[in-house]
Amino acid sequence: MQIGICVVWLGIPGTFSLKAKRQICLSLFSRLRKNFNISITEIGHQNSYRKSIIAVVTVNTEKAHLYSTLSKIVEFIKKDCRLNIENYTTEVL
């Protein structure tokens, strides 16, 4: 069994409150869970309304499938016009 982890640093330029940021993040999390078999949570910048760090975790027996899934997730996030990906890392354990 292999574990894939992707940490994504997000900029959220159009928000002016924590409530608006959380609505955007929760919407993203819901759509990602619906489209991919993953676990996702915010791990950093919880009290900043213009930035967020999220972690995505998935499990599979094949390393190639994990890298493919994580790259599709990053591309999915890039398509959301409300968010900017500042940086991301992927790792398979």
Distance of alpha carbon 24 from the chain centroid: 12
**C-beta neighbour count of 21 within 10 angstroms:** 24
* Domains assigned to the chain: 2-92 (3.30.70.1120)
pLDDT of the chain, 93 residues: tens digit per residue:
999 999 999 999 989 999 999 999 999 999 999 999 899 999 999 999 999 999 999 999 999 999 999 999 999 999 999 999 999 999 999
Amino acid (1-letter code) at residue 59: V
At 6 the pLDDT is: 97
* Euclidean distance between CA atoms 15 and 1, whole angstroms: 39
At 14 the pLDDT is: 86
Distance of alpha carbon 74 from the chain centroid: 7
Residue 23 bridge partners (DSSP): none
At 40 the pLDDT is: 97
